[in-house]
Structure 1
């Protein structure tokens, strides 16, 4: 301890504590797009290179039963930003181009943390509303660099999907168009994230890094494709795109360490839904009817399905000095749990309405059971509910094109791949879960956006 006298005022300086150690923890949420459950080495892949994302799991906790709140992008992200079921957040489905999105009466994670003195930034895919009042800078974010819609060309940054009447450019810095033609989108997201860290190292920050990879179109620089030339072409593309993402995550962690922030930073990583098998992933007139490049770890279903393959995703979290390295949580968790967890860590006030998510830390450090009595999903007329080991799925789809059973009951403890339909053997379980599912859906219906 050093005492200095300056103009009659004693200044107390500590040699043991830096400003970075005294401030509130920095919070980083990293989300990938359409990454399958087993599209990480730490989740079972033996053909990818993901050492940096796996490093988050090794340094902290790996969640083996982590769920997205929806089998598609926008609703899943709405839950992350609000701590609510997508229906309660006003985004139960995909959004049309240039449309409204996240309900304006909901407090976003950025809104809540900003009130607590956090600098806030989002880099990458927004997909929560592109109308004027729904843009990131109107929803609590000080800085935004990325695209507003659900997908774009990785090099020209044009939006081409047939849902739009014509193509348009969709890369923005705050509310101004940004022109970076020829620069790979994943690299740009990483560049902006690193700059945000450098610019805000003296203040606590919340940074949402929303990589659009490996969502279609499956674009990547050739050098990454060449690295995986030994793989089948479809898998090769996914491996190459995720290698660029992993490299970016490594650069972000390295920037934190360089600026002396890593020990005071919480990092959460997850995918927004399961791996996709639709033909939009093809880059040519290939003979296959489905895309087989993603790896959902043998789980039934793909993106667009409420089966496990569409909603169970890889997830991990690190917080040096708080979460012991190598922790594994086998209790169910879900995207909307991140919001209350980050608020609790930051000491921020929750909104004046009840959240659907729950703080994760008791499950991580106290080995508590999940506080969710049930978890529920609804997408495009499909329904699912999980309670304990049981999961009931109704009006199912296997992906965007193929129908599944109308009623499917699985014992996830014995059969996480959902290979055996037990609905006929346990009608009483089906009845109980169906009643609870009906109750849940009736509770969220009042918050659905009007047609």
Structure 2
């Protein structure tokens, strides 16, 4: 039954005329926690525009980043692979790094462009800032944004301002001039340092321009926001001088910009044929306290393989495509978006080699069971640390086995490993076998 549904859906979508292919907008925030939207349980942050997307679409509650840090998670998102498969599993890239996503890797942008889509990346890239690695070499017609994290400085990451995050928030104008962070358009630096106070709004401005200029053809718009990665900035008209409200203020500003984007779609009469995905690259940076977010009720945050590090909010909205007002607990990941979006667009899948993502289009459109029942957890340095299979999660931390039933214990409070050695051994064997396959098929990143 599941296979016949997939075949029917693929045939139907492949027969769509180019103008009927759905527009796709992928909004990807930085270090936003599972609990940092009111529709995901926040009682302090108000996100009415994103909440509306959830109410009019579907909310995925078991959705995972393929890594607990920036660069690997983006590599996984755009290639449909665990980061290890494409050689970018170890940590993040810096301004002095000479590495990047291999130009021969095929991204979702390239697949959609081959199907007639206009493509743009507007925001943080972080897959290599040298010309061979930039978005315009990876399937995007246009790029505008910060090439790496907004706490990094051109050209060698030296000379960054000192002081705590409260001081930066209290002195926004001085701080944004002190961070020597570049703004690129295509492959050229156009502003150094970039005024980070207005960057979230300017991303939206560029996105709205792109929509207006491409309304007569299908488009793929990837908006990887620089925020709420520290240091935090907002425009003066949104500013709250209380540092305790810094993170809240930034998320609510992002929410208002999402509202602007949706209004632009409405003005162009494009809402009936557009899919919007809102998600985050990894969990919150908890050590920055009120400058970081919350993963409640999950355990821990960014940089860890506990749920708070990799389970992230995800909302998918698409009138006439995605059922409204639904919640889906199906196991899913950023790596699944590549084949899923290709399927929804009726695009032919051509990749450099094997990928790990699975097509969830039937799960999202018809509530069919998810084809994914297993997910691997890799540390921020690319070390295999765990596996989820169904509701069971097995981790190895400092040679200590941990076993959790996430259906009953989403907060990972009760380690069942001492009581269930056979289950641990079964999961350990399964994760090593899957990782062995990925290791043997690993493709290198590119180096200058």
Q: Which of the five TM-score ranges fits, normalised by the shorter chain? A: 0.7 to 0.9
Partner of 2:340: 341
In the TM superposition, residue 36 of structure 1 has moved relative to its aligned partner by: 0.6
Q: 1:402 corresponds to which residue? A: none
* Other structure's SS at 2:51 match: helix
Report the CA distance between 1:105 and its aligned residue: 2.8
In structure 2, what is the Cα distance between the partners aligned to 1:193 and 1:143?
11
What is residue 429 of structure 1 aligned with on the other side?
A: 423
Structure 1: unaligned runs, 5 residues or longer:
1-18, 153-158, 282-289, 397-404
- Are 2:205 and 1:207 aligned? no
Work out whether 1:412 is the aligned partner of 2:406: yes
Task: Give the Cα–Cα distance (whole angstroms) in 1 for the partners of residues 72 and 303 of structure 2.
Answer: 11
How many residues align? The count is 404
SS at match of 1:133: helix
CA contact (8 A) 1:74 1:150 kept: no
In structure 2, what is the Cα distance between the partners aligned to 1:382 and 1:317?
29
TM-score, normalising length: structure 2: 0.85
Residues 32 and 284 of structure 2 are in contact (CA less than 8 Å); yes or no, is this contact kept in structure 1?
yes
- Deviation sequence 1:118-155 (CA, Å, 0-9, x none): 11000000001122211111111100000111224xxx
Q: Work out the CA distance in 2 between the residues paired with 1:37 and 1:250.
A: 20
Query: For residues 199 and 329 of structure 1, do their structure 2 counterparts lie closer, same or farther at Cα, with a shift above 3 Å needed?
Result: same
Q: CA shift at 1:72, angstroms?
A: 0.7
- Please give the residue correspondences for 1:343-422 in structure 2 after superposition, counting only pairs within 5 Å: 343-352=342-351, 353-379=353-379, 380=381, 381=383, 383-395=385-397, 406-422=400-416
Residues of 1 paired with 2:51 and 2:37: CA distance?
Answer: 7
- Give the TM-score normalised by the residue count of structure 1: 0.84
Counterpart residue number, 1:56: 53
Instruction: Provide the aligned C-alpha RMSD in A.
Output: 2.3
In structure 2, C-alpha distance between the alignment counterparts of 1:335 and 1:373, rounded to whole Å: 15
Q: Secondary structure at the match of 1:363?
A: helix
State which drifts further: 380-389 or 237-246: 380-389
1:262 aligns with: 271
Instruction: State the distance in 2 between where 1:319 and 1:145 align.
Output: 25
Please state how far the C-alpha of 1:166 moved relative to its aligned partner: 5.1
Question: Which residue does the alignment assign to 1:13?
Answer: none
Bigger CA radius of gyration? 1
Aligned to 2:10: none
| Residues 202-226 of structure 1: CA deviation (Å, up to 9, x unaligned) | 1111000111111011223354343
SS in 2 for 1:267: strand
Residue 191 of structure 1, aligned match among 176, 193, 205: 205
Which whole-Å CA distance do the structure 1 matches of 2:408 and 2:184 have between them? 47
Q: 1:303-338: CA deviations, max 9, x gaps?
A: 000000000110010111122210111111100111
Q: Distance in 2 between matches of 1:184 and 1:124?
A: 12
- Show CA shifts across 1:65-118 (max 9, x none): 111111111111111101111111221131232432213332111111111111
SS in 2 for 1:424: helix
Unaligned runs of 5+ in 2: 1-15, 161-179
